[in-house]
Structure 1
Amino acid sequence: MDTKIDETCLENMQSLLGEQFNDTLEFCLSEFDRLANEVKATIDDDLEAATRNAHSLKSNAAQFGAMSLADVARTIEMSLVENNVEHAKTQVSVLCSEVDASKALLQRWLTSSVK
């Protein structure tokens, strides 16, 4: 999967948050990990929690321009809503690698955008 970052989303968040942007982005990156781990931990025994965590991850990722991560989280969320648990489970490994790839791209963007 090609990891995609929407830089326009990042620039919009940066102008909206101003001085808080870097700290907020750092927090968001740690949330990507936490939420992905929660999806992974709950998908076998608490589908409601797994769905909720996938939804939160989808929203956070989209807000900060991590579009391919948002897409994978959306796929998991929708699969769980439709009770297609096996398909959701197949996407968890994709989710974990997408978290890592998205974080790397976001950190690279942040480093190159510092003025």
Structure 2
Amino acid sequence: MSRHAFFIAGDRVVHVANPCGAGFQYQAQSHVLSPRAQVGPQQHEAAETVLVVQQGALELMVNGAAGYVPAGSFVRIPAKTWFAYRNVGDVAAFVLCRTAPPQPARGARKITIQIAAA
């Protein structure tokens, strides 16, 4: 598991270093889940979580309900919500996970990034 911040533009993912000390309070990680591997259950008291499935398929459990999340999909999980997810495929699943405060931190600035296709 690596700790990298990332931006998503269409089908392109750009990884950048985590902005530790930059005044932003979030974490971004990429996960590789082996077949039938599970993460959680867990809950973040003061942060929402966004999961982006790059490859594979997940079963996502949120507050006792379960659903299927295929590659190319994303899910937003509000703060104070119990969740877990597992790889339901026969191959490794690649997942981007971002955890951030539900409201921007004081003094944070909105940043717009444009990525041109190469």
TM-score category (smaller protein): under 0.3
More helix by share: 1
Compute the TM-score of the two structures, normalised by the length of structure 2.
0.24
Compute the TM-score of the two structures, normalised by the length of structure 1.
0.24
Q: Computing the radius of gyration over CA atoms, which structure comes out larger, 1 or 2? A: 2
